Amino acid sequence: MKFYRLPQTDLDVSSIILGMMRIANMSNGEIQQLVGGARDAGVTFIDHADIYGGAPHRCEARFGEAISLTAAEREKLVIQSKVGIRKGFFDFSAEHILASVDQSLAALKTDYMDVLLLHRPDSLVEPEEVAAAFDTLKSAGKVRHFGVSNHTPGQVELLKTAVTQPLIVNQVQLSITHAPLIASGVAANMAGLDQSIDRDNGLLDYSRINGMMLQAWSPFQKGFFDGVFLDDRENFGDLNDAIDELAKAYGVTPTGIAVAWITRHPAKIQVVLGTTKPERVVEAAAGSSVSLTREEWYRLFRAAGHTVP
């Protein structure tokens, strides 16, 4: 397992994050097996959101019901959750942030959250409201660190006009095949090439310059919830051939190589897994330690359909 220092903190965290989005219908024993297997593999970071599970705080509650942590065990884990998505709209009001965090903490059965993220951008955001909520949560010891998810550099800068706590994380969609975050920079200034369109407003470079950890969600998705590219020979035959060859060379699984492509980047990007299978977590953890060469990394990039001018 590769570990990173979480920017602007004293926390060393696993490069693999165990996402809890799909645990709502799992038994306590299944959740315990998943979390226990992840911890045995070196995973120290758990990701939640108040929206996960089909009902508010459903997955957080299932985690809290299934996992009992001693004080010492709790200190060794980084538990993160997200707030702001409501049914049909987004809400970054101070009232909603504060109420939702209290409900998350009760569901998770913990006194504090290590990291709180604003989930998707609220177009009606008032930075002063967010700042007031964050100040209250920080001073009460309910949240230790703060960040965002799916935000552009401009949206982060807007929050910073009022928010005084460092915004240390931005969780975004990224996989080998869904990589505009990276691909647009590779093909910068190429007129007429769709890949050159900057859809993220320079987010990758902005994050590295400003000390924000990027977290990659849907690391195996072809596109936006279009299914996984692993074993999709019809659409990604060359990519899967390259992945299989590298997996054999490095002694890991194809899942591990898909993870290694992300963790090889010097931005030190964490990988958020949505799997409910402990063995997949083990495969991802092994892949995180693989250091692909530049030639190998770009080979996968090209095989995924991206242009290297």
H helices of 211-277, in order, are: 233-250, 254-263
Helices 233-250, 294-303: axis angle to 10 degrees equals 160
| Cβ–Cβ < 8 Å for 216, 262 | yes
Residues in the chain: 309
Q: Is 4 a catalytic residue?
A: no
CA dist., res. 284 & res. 271, Å (int): 9
Beta-ladder partners of 142? none
- State the catalytic residue, choosing from 52, 206, 250, 298: 52
| Cβ–Cβ < 8 Å for 135, 164 | yes
Amino acid at 121: P
Report the alpha-carbon angle 274-280-282, nearest 5: 120
Residues 6+ apart with CB under 8 A from 113: 79, 80, 81, 101, 104, 105, 142, 143, 144
Q: How many CA atoms lie within 13 A of 193 on its CB side?
A: 18
Which residues are catalytically annotated?
52
